[in-house]
A and B are shown apart, each in its own frame.
Chain A
Amino acid sequence: MNKKEQLVSFSFVFPALVIFSCFYIIPFFYTFWLSLHEASPINVFDLTFVGTQNFKEAFSPPILAGIAGLFGIILIFFALKNKFKKVKRESLAKTIQVTAIAAGITCLFYAGATLIHILKTSLAFTPDPAWWNSVGRSFYITLWALTFQNCLAFLLALAVDRAVRSGQFYRAVFFMLPILGEVVIGLLLRTILRAHPGILNHMLESVGLSGWIQNWLGRDFALTTLAVSHSYRGFGYGFIILLAGLQTIPEQLYEAARIDGANAFYRFTKITVPMLIPVIFLVIILTILGTVQIIGLPMALTRGGPAGQTTVAVYHIYNELQNNYVGYASSLGLILGFILVVLSFSLLKVSKKINN
């Protein structure tokens, strides 16, 4: 390819490159840069470099030192075991290897220095409890979504798959909820679930079930109510994907199994489930990513209350931003992103292993 052709080719890629840089790459590095800074308490425009202080606050210095040390060891181990040999260009593989060793040594050095500092100053405050509690709440809701929401989606997809004639109708109906948006659903459910004058409690009273009346958004139920509400809103996504997956399974497989005398349970466990594994893992990953990042629903349903009991991770980050803790909010965003990336890749690995 001559220079002119290269230029022409590049000109086709250039717009996408600009958009990708502006909306993905630059914001990522900007967030990372922000996470190393903090706004001054008397001037919100004045950003001061604080190094890893925000991460120390989130994890506590000893835990951060431990994470850095572990990360350093992993990097060096990967580099020495030549795990980057898959990279086609040898020079690039070498550069990555050297960079990984350098980064690993830096991490180990940082961990050591922090530990010495902790021992000298007996500085060992606990990780930010509000943040980790909010992460815990996000994962509690995720657990509900993974079980209740996805089981419901799977059952409905199976039912609709059998009745393909009315499939389009059900697809439209079940997908209506995700389309409505978190805030709309949140406000709607709030009207139904409020203790007074909540529609649900009123109905329970009318049918003589006064004993079942609860403060659904109160201390004992708020988080579970939020989790169930999220599952109710979100099962449509899983339903659509699982239904599409079910419809790709060749009918001949079932017919052959039927001829061989396989009953419904056997067909389900030996054909449907194995054939759906990649789709199921896709739904699991999308559910985790979608659920850990909810914010609109708790905002509309409970405003994060009562007493912060439904303040989930992203809502916590939003609160920190509102309080002008830009750097800390950015560092929490990076931590959450990292957790999600690790989880997603681990699930992909497991999925590949099962498939093989």
Chain B
Amino acid sequence: MRKICALLLILAVFLYSVGCGPAEDRGPEIVIWHWMSDRHQVFLELAHQYYEKEGVPVSFRLFPHSAYTQRIDAAAAANDLPDLFGILGEKRVLASFAKEGMIENLSPYMEKQDNKWKNRFIEIALKVNSFENNNIYQVEPGIYGVPIDTMSIQFLYNENLLEKAGFNPNTPPNNLQSFITAAKAANNIPGVYGFTSGWGETWMLECLVTNYAFNVMGKDKFIRTIKGDVPYTDSDWVKVFSVFKELREADILAPDIVTMNNKEAEEMFATERAIFTFNGSWGVNTYRQINPNLSYAAMPPPPANSKHKPGIWAGAGSSFVLNAKSHMKKEAIAFLKWLTDEERQEFLTRKTENLPAIKGLGDSVEGSLKVFSQNQELFTHPRLWPVTENSRVIEAINRGIQNIIIGARTPKEVAEEVNRVKQRFID
């Protein structure tokens, strides 16, 4: 026993001395926190390149996506935020950090030399990180985040399966009825479903609901609903919810669609077990890894009517904000400028298969990723809307849609339930 204790003691002293050994002194470093596990290796490579070039060390620290927000909140409460970090969630979260003076207004840096840095970016990517004059959050107008890539969420179709089902893959369905007809044809192909999507992750549903709300009632009426001027029991909202009833009744949805996560839906589409899917540009990587020969194309959400155009969620995929109290502000800004120059953005696009955040890189967007940069005229994002819906109302909508899909509620019942939640929130 004594020998074991002595051995443990020696081991502890050894580990302690190794742990406390002098680290390589690289001087003060820029610390960046993020959650992007798929991009971490590329970030480390870029940090190395930057150190070689500028002599400024950059340390990227990765945290699990599920714990990232809590980590940032805790650091904010302890006044211990890193120099650069990403903020997940609704715009009000970004607004809260800005209002509390925790993150820097980057407009002065962006607008230097006649907007030289600002003009690099794709407009929508920058807008999602900006606050306009008289914004509802009462945040000082300006740009508070630097986008490093962009994304869009679109309808995708498997070209081979669509052809097998008897349709021309060059002319995909252009309205809800033709979409349903094409998806129904999947029943003739053994083991293939019409449509799949990760609707267990309810924000994917929220995304599609707003796309159709734009289509059925137009953006203005949609915004007026969020403001509380139009009730969710309005006939247009019932029509929006009815889209999901039609999908259910047509029997085109993959089983378990309402508990399926995005990865499972991606796997289903990649292994050619569904003709259509609804997914974001981040899926390109998964599709290529699972099935390099998958042949697919994008199309806008098939409109339910021709009154208005549907929306497509797009914008900044990931952004970094600057800690207003950072001692490395100058260095961090220089690094962000370097990270968003043409060469680095091309490198990021090529290595991570995400859409670039800056203009003029259309040529470096290749193959499958290109389909996600189509239909740009329909691009929108909740962070661009002047108001944000209450999270409980969004939850009620998502749960309601799931209830419609499993046949537990009618669109009208869901509209009434959502309206009840909204009323409670307004009161």
CA distance A219 to B137 in the complex (A): 40
B395 pairs with A215, CB closer than 8 A: no
Binding site secondary structure of chain A: loop
Q: Which residues of A contact B392 (CB under 8 A)?
A: 323, 325
Of the A-B pairs whose beta carbons lie under 8 Å apart in the complex, a sample of 27, sorted by A's number, is: A41-B92, A42-B92, A42-B96, A42-B99, A42-B138, A43-B92, A43-B100, A44-B92, A44-B96, A125-B424, A194-B256, A194-B264, A195-B256, A196-B256, A218-B256, A219-B408, A222-B259, A305-B200, A305-B258, A306-B402, A306-B405, A307-B400, A307-B402, A307-B408, A324-B92, A324-B391, A325-B392
- Is B95 among interface residues, defined by CB-CB distance under 8 A? yes
- Interface: B399 (CB within 8 A): yes
Minimal beta-carbon separation of B102 from chain A (angstroms) = 8
Residues of A within 8 A of B264 (CB): 194
Docked pose: A303 CA to B263 CA in angstroms:
13
Task: Confirm or deny: A217 has a beta carbon within 8 angstroms of a beta carbon on chain B.
Answer: yes
Q: Mark A216-254, 1 if CB is under 8 A from B, else 0.
A: 011100100000000000000000000000000000000
Q: Does A46 contact B (CB under 8 A)?
A: yes
For the complex, give the distance between the alpha carbons of A237 and B144 in Å. Answer: 51
Whether A218 and B255, one on each chain, are in contact in the complex, defined by CB atoms closer than 8 angstroms, is yes
> Cα distance A302–B261 when bound, in Å?
9
Q: Which residue of B lies closest to A310 (CB)?
A: B259
Q: A42-B92, A44-B93, A307-B399 are in contact. Are A215 and B100 (CB under 8 A)?
A: no
Encode A195-228 as 1/0 by CB contact (under 8 A) with B: 1100000000000000000010111001000000
> Using Cβ atoms and an 8 Å threshold, which residues of chain B touch A46?
96
B201 at the interface (CB under 8 A from A): yes
B92 touches A306 (CB 8 A): no
- Total A-B contacts with CB atoms under 8 angstroms apart: 79
Decide if B177 is an interface residue (CB 8 Å cutoff): no
Give the residues in chain B near A325, CB-CB below 8 Å.
Answer: 391-392
Q: Are A302 and B390 in contact (CB under 8 A)?
A: no
B405: chain A residues at CB < 8 Å are 306-307
* A303-B395 contact in complex given A43-B95, A218-B256, A219-B407, C-beta closer than 8 Å: no
Contact code string B229-268 (vs A, CB < 8 Å = 1, else 0): 0000000000000000000000000111011010010000
As a 0/1 sequence over residues 382 to 393 of chain B, the CB contacts with chain A under 8 angstroms (1 = contact) are 000000001110
Chain A residues whose CB sits within 8 angstroms of the CB of B99 once the complex forms: 42-43, 45
Is there a chain B Cβ closer than 8 Å to A308's Cβ? Answer: yes
Q: Within the complex, which residue of B201, B258, B261, B424 is in contact with A306, where a contact is CB–CB below 8 Å?
A: B258
Q: Is A147 an interface residue (CB 8 A)?
A: no
| Residue B76, interface by CB 8 Å | yes
Give chain B residues whose Cβ lies under 8 Å from the Cβ of A125: 424
Q: What are the interface flags for B127-148 relative to A under an 8 Å C-beta threshold, 1 for contact and 0 otherwise?
A: 0000000001110000000000
Residues from chain B with a CB closer than 8 A to the CB of A45 are 76, 96, 99-100
B255 and A215 form a contact (CB under 8 A): yes
Residue A319 CB within 8 A of the other chain:
yes
Q: Please report the total number of A residues contacting B with Cβ < 8 Å.
A: 25
**How far, in Å, is B238 (CB) from chain A's closest CB?**
18
Residue of A44, A125, A324, A325 with most partner-chain B CB within 10 A: A44
Within the assembled complex, what's the spacing in Å between the Cα atoms of A195 and B392?
30
Residues of A contacting B259 in the complex (Cβ-Cβ under 8 angstroms): 217-218, 222, 302-303, 305-306
A44 to B89, CA, bound (A): 11
* A323, B391: Cβ atoms closer than 8 Å: yes
Instruction: Check: B403 CB closer than 8 A to any chain A CB.
Output: yes
**What distance in Å separates the Cβ of B42 from its nearest Cβ neighbour in chain A?**
27
Residues of A within 8 A of B93 (CB): 44, 324
In the complex the two chains form, is A308's CB within 8 Å of B92's CB? Answer: no
Least CB distance from B136 to A in Å reads 7
Instruction: Please name all residues of chain B whose beta carbon is closer than 8 Å to the beta carbon of A308 when the two chains form the complex.
Output: 399, 402
Residues in chain B within 8 A of chain A (CB atoms): 76, 92-93, 95-96, 99-100, 136-138, 193, 200-201, 254-256, 258-259, 261, 264, 390-392, 395, 399-400, 402-403, 405-409, 424
B258, A43: Cβ atoms under 8 Å?
no
Residues of chain B lying within 8 A (CB to CB) of residue A319: 395
Per-residue interface assignment for chain A, residues 116 to 136, with 1 indicating a CB less than 8 Å from any chain B CB and 0 otherwise: 000000000100000000000
Interface string of A10-51 (1 = CB under 8 A from B): 000000000000000000000000000000011111100000
- The CA-CA distance from A301 to B145 in the complex, in Å, is 36
Binding site for B on A (CB under 8 A): 41-46, 125, 194-196, 215, 217-219, 222, 302-303, 305-308, 319, 323-325
**Chain B's nearest CB lies how many Å from the CB of A185?**
16
A321 CB to nearest B CB, Å:
9
Choose from A42, A217, A307 the contact partner of B256 (Cβ within 8 Å). A217
Give complex CA distance A52, B289 in Å.
53
With A42-B92, A43-B92 as given contacts, are A307 and B258 in contact (CB-CB < 8 Å)?
A: yes
State the Cβ distance, B180 to closest chain A Cβ, in Å: 20
Interchain CA distance A46-B76 in the complex, whole Å: 13
> Is A303 in contact with B200, judged by CB distance below 8 angstroms?
yes
Measured between alpha carbons, how far is A232 from B201 in the docked complex, in Å?
Answer: 26
Asked if A43 meets B96 with Cβ closer than 8 Å, knowing A196-B256, A305-B402, A306-B402, the reply is: yes
Write the chain B residue with the least CB distance to A46: B96
Which residues of A sit under 8 angstroms from B138, Cβ to Cβ?
42
Measured in the bound complex, the distance between the Cα atoms of B405 and A195 in whole Å is 15
Give CA–CA (A307, B424) in the complex, Å.
21
Nearest A residue (CB) for B196: A196
Find out whether the CB atom of B254 lies under 8 angstroms from the CB atom of A196. Answer: yes
Known A303-B259, A324-B391; contact A218-B76, beta-carbon cutoff 8 A: no
- Further pairs besides A305-B402, A323-B392: 19, Cβ < 8 Å: A41-B92, A41-B390, A42-B96, A42-B137, A44-B96, A195-B255, A218-B255, A218-B259, A305-B200, A306-B402, A306-B406, A307-B258, A307-B399, A307-B403, A307-B409, A308-B399, A308-B402, A324-B391, A325-B392
Question: How near does chain A come to B201, taking the closest CB pair, in angstroms?
Answer: 7
Chain A: which residue is nearest B98 at the CB level? Answer: A43
B7 to chain A, nearest CB (A): 27
Given known A46-B96, A219-B408, contact A303–B201 (CB-CB < 8 A) = yes
Our pick among B92, B95, B255 for the contact of A196 (Cβ within 8 Å) is B255
Q: Hey, which chain A residues are within 8 Å of B254, CB to CB?
A: 196
Q: Which residues of B contact A302 (CB under 8 A)?
A: 200, 259
Q: How far does the Cβ of A285 sit from chain B's closest Cβ, in whole Å? A: 30
Closest to A311 in B: B399
Most buried by A among B93, B100, B200, B406: B406
Taking the closest CB of chain B, its distance from the CB of A174, in whole angstroms, is 29
Which chain A residues lie closer than 8 Å to B409 at the CB level?
307
Tell me, rounded to whole Å, the shortest Cβ–Cβ distance linking A288 to chain B. Answer: 27
Of all chain A residues, the one with the shortest Cβ separation from B404 is A307
Provide the bound-state CA to CA distance between A125 and B421, in Å: 12
In the assembled complex, the Cα of A222 lies from the Cα of B405 at a distance in Å of 15
